[in-house]
Chains A and B, each alone.
Chain A
Amino acid sequence: MKAAFWIPFALLAGLVLGGLGPRQSMRRERDELERLRKAVRSERPARTDFGNMVDFLRFPGTAGPATAATGTVRVADQPDASGVDVTPVATGTTERVRGGRTNLNMVSFQERIEAASELWRIRSDMVRSGFLRSARLTPEQTVQFDVLVEAMNIRLKDRIAEWTEVLEQAESVSPETGVRMINDLSEVLVLTYDEMDRTLSPEWRQNAGTSFDLGSLIDPAVAMPLTKVEPKFRDRARMRRTDPVWNTQSGGAPVSVAP
């Protein structure tokens, strides 16, 4: 029985001796990981600064190659593939865009959309949770609702892709195009509302309340096709900030703003 007294101590000694080595190496690895994380974090601002510099160098009208932070991405100031006048729908201004985009910038814009999409997903999840609670849908209706929202986002993505092609190919786009684009996209929402009326319980609208908005459930990722025309938007926006002449058409007429 007296030997039993030493059992816990023997067990503890074994555990301590056995655990010391792995713990020490784990701590070392963790410190190393932390050091690397800090190193990566400290590099980030430099890359961002460089990205800003590249953006600055890509100002329309400037020339000359630039090298990205990695040393592999180059800015080629060459004519656009189409080489035509393009009117971004955002302002209706007509501008000639010269110069290709860097992969760096394109990825950056896509990342921004992805980040917005991620944040929007949180928001739309909240709206969805709130809607499901207040509308008191059955499990089948919940699935139906999710399918409708998914279908709405797919339709919107298709329409935006179509409009992007139009914007890329159009020589000039009038304010009417912007209005038609809004009309086209809002039709998708109206269709989804109608589908909800058809498939969900009759009292869903009353239960959900007047503040329910399908627009909150639109995934920003549907705007991804716009990455193709985004550079023109940004360059033009920069020109608008720096040169008031860009705010007028060639004839000097005021420019209307379309979405």
Chain B
Amino acid sequence: MMPWWKQTWIVARHELSDAVRSRRAAVMMVLYVAGAVTSINGFINVLQKLELQIAQTLGVEALSSAGAVTDTLWKSRPFRNMLMSLVGDRSVAMDLLSIPPIALIYGWVAFTFVPMLVMLVTPARVAEEIGSGAVRFVVPRCTRSAWCAGKVAGQSALVILALILSVAGAWTVARLRLPGMDGWAVAQAMMMLAGKTWIYAFAFVGLAVGIAQFHRSPNQATALGFIAWMVLGIVGIMCHFYAGPGIRQIWLVIELIIPQGHRMDLWRMDGAYLLSGCAFLASLGMCYAAVGYAYFSRRDV
């Protein structure tokens, strides 16, 4: 029998090629890329109107292209102070301010919607294979753990593809609409944020694969995945507000075992926070998938 990692690699490769060809995944990916591009375009429209208003208020000449006023505002002390009070953490605010505004918007869109994309695509892909009985032809040739790990890897690769396409689309729109933009700096920032989003999404891929292994119906798995995504979002907000001393420390523990609790770590530029966030999210993704695997490994397929 082939080594475990080789089995995983083959399953992942097939998973990616099948997912790309599947109608559902393709539609979701196109929707996500279109959403990212539309968001950037909408942001630039707002920016232009805002800059026009600022230029009028300050009595300076309005520029035909957006960006110059925003860049200046971005570097100004009053704006920085405002952002610091909004974020509530000086170091986080300073990290955010080091990112070009357009890339920051891209990052926000990616961090918000990529998990949703994952939860809409991945559970259906895995549950469909179990439900249709296709998995019966695979498991004699590889271990169930390799199959499960391959599914996680394949779906993660699909997320990379979606992120690369969205970066390309968003950057192109920004380049066309903002001629004065520092293209290289924005591209770098967008790629960095896409990478961070991928790490964040990995935890959701694990969760989606974990959930899907309990189901045979793709629709049921998708619905449950979507509900799980929403519940985690609500729990994340509750943790933020209710965590405190004494018994309320339980919220702190809950915050550590959900992906949303490590989201802000990924926005930081400090390596210590980043490394901690990455380790948490990677282990969370694996744990979620492993919980599903614990059931799937004994399941009659």
Give the B-binding residues of A (Cβ under 8 A).
1, 4-5, 7-9, 11-12, 15-16, 19-20, 23-24, 27-28, 30, 34, 118-119, 121-123, 125-127, 129-130, 133, 209, 211-212, 216
Q: Does B4 contact A (CB under 8 A)?
A: yes
Report whether A211 and B58 are in contact in the complex, using a CB–CB cutoff of 8 Å: no
Q: How many contacts A-B (CB < 8 Å)?
A: 89
Report whether A123 and B58 are in contact in the complex, using a CB–CB cutoff of 8 Å: yes
A126 in complex: contacting residue of B69, B249, B286, CB < 8 Å? B69
Q: Does B299 contact A (CB under 8 A)?
A: no
Q: How far is the CB of A33 from chain B (nearest CB, A)?
A: 9
A30 in complex: contacting residue of B61, B75, B89, B145, CB < 8 Å? B89
Report whether B286 and A8 are in contact in the complex, using a CB–CB cutoff of 8 Å: yes
Q: Does B283 contact A (CB under 8 A)?
A: yes
The docked-state distance in angstroms from the alpha carbon of A121 to that of B72 is: 9
Residue pairs across A and B with Cβ atoms less than 8 A apart, 29 shown, are: A5-B293, A7-B286, A9-B290, A11-B279, A12-B257, A15-B256, A15-B276, A15-B283, A19-B256, A19-B280, A20-B249, A20-B252, A20-B253, A24-B249, A27-B243, A27-B244, A118-B76, A118-B77, A121-B76, A122-B73, A125-B72, A126-B55, A126-B72, A127-B60, A129-B71, A130-B61, A133-B180, A209-B61, A212-B61
Q: Does B140 contact A (CB under 8 A)?
A: no
Chain A residues with CB under 8 A of B11: none
Chain B residues with CB under 8 A of A1: 4, 143, 145
Residues A133 and B252 in contact in the complex (CB < 8 Å), given A9-B290, A34-B88: no
A11 in complex: contacting residue of B4, B257, B283, CB < 8 Å? B283
Q: How far is the CB of B81 from chain A (nearest CB, A)?
A: 10
Report the nearest B residue to A118, measured CB to CB: B77
The docked-state distance in angstroms from the alpha carbon of A255 to that of B180 is: 51
Report whether A8 and B290 are in contact in the complex, using a CB–CB cutoff of 8 Å: yes
Q: Which of B127-147 contact A (CB under 8 A)?
A: 143, 145
The docked-state distance in angstroms from the alpha carbon of A216 to that of B55 is: 13
Q: Does B230 contact A (CB under 8 A)?
A: no
Q: How far is the CB of A20 from chain B (nearest CB, A)?
A: 7
Chain B residues with CB under 8 A of A28: 245
The docked-state distance in angstroms from the alpha carbon of A7 to that of B290 is: 10
Q: How far is the CB of A112 from chain B (nearest CB, A)?
A: 14
Report whether B252 and A122 are in contact in the complex, using a CB–CB cutoff of 8 Å: no
Chain B residues with CB under 8 A of A4: 145
Chain A residues with CB under 8 A of B145: 1, 4-5
Q: How far is the CB of A46 from chain B (nearest CB, A)?
A: 20
Residues A24 and B78 in contact in the complex (CB < 8 Å), given A8-B286, A123-B60, A125-B72: no
Chain A residues with CB under 8 A of B256: 15-16, 19-20, 23
Q: Does B63 contact A (CB under 8 A)?
A: yes
B58 in complex: contacting residue of A12, A126, A133, A212, CB < 8 Å? A126
Q: How far is the CB of A253 from chain B (nearest CB, A)?
A: 36
Report the nearest A residue to B54, measured CB to CB: A126
Q: How far is the CB of A166 from chain B (nearest CB, A)?
A: 31
As a 0/1 sequence over residues 237 to 255 of chain B, the CB contacts with chain A under 8 angstroms (1 = contact) are: 0000001110001001100
Report the nearest B residue to A115, measured CB to CB: B78
Report the nearest A residue to B55, measured CB to CB: A126
Q: Does B231 contact A (CB under 8 A)?
A: no
Report whether A216 and B180 are in contact in the complex, using a CB–CB cutoff of 8 Å: no
Chain B residues with CB under 8 A of A9: 287, 290
Chain A residues with CB under 8 A of B245: 28
The docked-state distance in angstroms from the alpha carbon of A212 to that of B63 is: 12
Report whether B89 and A27 are in contact in the complex, using a CB–CB cutoff of 8 Å: no
Q: Does B30 contact A (CB under 8 A)?
A: no
Chain A residues with CB under 8 A of B58: 123, 126
Q: Does B294 contact A (CB under 8 A)?
A: yes
Report the nearest A residue to B279, measured CB to CB: A15
The docked-state distance in angstroms from the alpha carbon of A133 to that of B64 is: 11
Q: Does B284 contact A (CB under 8 A)?
A: yes
Report the nearest A residue to B244, measured CB to CB: A27
B60 in complex: contacting residue of A8, A12, A126, A133, CB < 8 Å? A126
